[in-house]
Amino acid sequence: MRIHRTFEASITNPRQVSDDLDQLGRAASKLWNVGRYYAQEQWDETGEIPDDGELKSELKGHERYTDLHSQSSQRVLEELAEAFNGWFTKRRNGDSRARPPGYRKRGDSHPRSTVSFKAAGFKQDAQFTRVRLSKGRNLKEHRSDFVLCEYELRPDVDLSEWDIQQVRTVHKYDEWRLHFVCRKSIDPDPPGDETAGIDLGISNVAALSFGGESILFPGNALKEDEYYFGRKKAKCDDSRSNERLRLDRKRTERRTHFLHTLSKHIVSECVERDVGTIVIGDLGGIRDDDTGESRNWGKHGNLDLHGWAFDRFTSMLEYKAEAEGIDLTVESERDTSKTCSACETKDGTQRVERGLYVCEECDTVANADVNGAENIRRKVTPSPSEDRSNGWLAQPTVHLFDRNEGRFAPREQVVDCKP
C-alpha cells in the first residue's frame, strides 16, 4: 500500500530567495492567464475546452511557458485543466452558481501562484536541509542559475523515510513556504479486531468509545485561542495589516497543531487497545438544513461551528490510522444522540442536559457525547459489550491539551497555561 503525505517547511533564508520566488510565482500566474485566454478562444470557436495535453502542446513555445522549468509549466496547465473539469462537474450536478476558473490578476499586477517542481526540477540536500529549485530559461541570468532554499521542518518529520515526488513553493500569510509532496510503500498489519467509535462536537471536540472504556477530548484550547486571537484582531485598525495577518497565521498554525496532535493521539490510543476499525460520525450536513440553507446554531454556536474543521480532522485521522493498518469508516450520526446505547430505546427527551443522557427505560446514566460515540461504534459492531455498567459511560477519562508539552494527557497530568 502506498501512502502520500505533504509536509510543510518554513524557509530559513527568506531574504536571499524571496525575490526569485516572487518572480517564479508571478510567472506561474502569467502562464495560467495565457492558458485561460487560449481556452476561451477554443471555447468560443468550437464550444469545447482543451484538455491539459492540448494546452501543453499548443503553448510550449510561448514565452511565458519558458519562464518556468518545463515540468513546472506543465503543472500550471494541468491545474488549469483540472479547474475546468471541476467546474464542469459542478454544473452537471446542478450547481448553476458554479463559475469557470478566472484570470489571476489584481488590477495591473499578478498574484504569486504556487509553483510545483517535479523530479527534474528540484534537488534536495538532506545533510544541509536545503533544496535547489530550477528556474526557467527566460529567468536565468546564467546557465546554472537556480534558487537555493534552506528550510526547517517539524521535529517529528524525517524526509529520509519518504520518496519526495514534488516540491511546491506556496505563498501564504505574506511569506513563502515549501511543501514536500512525498510517498512511501507500507504494508502494516491491523493492531487487532476491536472497534472504536468517535462522536465529534464543539464543546468536546471528540468522544472516543471502545465499548467498555471511553475518553473525552474537550475543546477548551480551541475556544481559548478563538477568544484570545479574536480580541487581539479587534484592536487592529486595518483588516489587512501585517499584525492582523500575523495573528491569523498564528491562530491557524495553533489550530492545525491541535488537530494533528489530537488525531495522532487518538490513533495511538486505538493501537494500544488492538483497534482495527475506527467508526466516526458523518457531520457533512451539520452546517445546512434539509433545504440546503445554513442552519442557525445561535450567535456563539455559529462562531464555534465555523472554526471547527470537521472534514479536515477526519482526513488527518484517516491517513494516520491508515499508516497503522487501521480502517476508518464514516457513518451517519442520525439518532445517535437520542438513542440509549445500553437498551437502544430512542427518545429525544432523554438528553436532559447538554452533557447528560438519562434513559428512563433502563436507568442508564451516561455522558451524552460518550453515549453518541458508543452508538456510532455499534453501527459497525452491533453486538453489545457484556459490561453495560454505567461507570465508563457516565465517567469517561478526560484528556486535555497540554500547552506546555504540545500534547494530550489525562486531566491530572496537564498544567494549565494561557495562550
Of 174-183, 319-328, 331-340, the poorest mean pLDDT is in 331-340
Which cell is 352 given? 436532559
Q: What torsion do the CA atoms of 228, 229, 235, 237 make, to the nearest 10 degrees?
A: -170
Inter-axis angle of helices 52-59 and 70-92, nearest 10 = 140
Confidence of residue 291 (pLDDT cuts 50, 70, 90): very low
Average pLDDT over residues 178-204: 90
Domains of the chain: 2-185 (no CATH), 194-219+252-410 (3.30.420.140)
Instruction: Tell me the C-alpha distance between 386 and 254, whole Å.
Output: 41
Using CA atoms, how far residue 356 sits from 192, 195, 310, 397, in Å, is: 32, 24, 23, 15
What is the pLDDT at residue 304?
A: 45
Whether the model clears a pTM of 0.75, i.e. scores above it, the answer is no
Task: Give the model's pLDDT for residue 307.
Answer: 45
The predicted-structure confidence for 45-85, as pLDDT tens digits, reads as follows 998 999 999 999 999 999 999 999 999 999 999 999 999 99
DSSP assignment of 390-415 equals SHHHHS-EEEEEETTTTEEEEGGGPP
pLDDT tens figures, 372-391: 899 999 888 865 544 455 67
Three-class DSSP category at 149: strand
The predicted model gives 198-214 an average pLDDT of 89
Average pLDDT over all residues of the chain: 85
289, pLDDT greater than 70? no
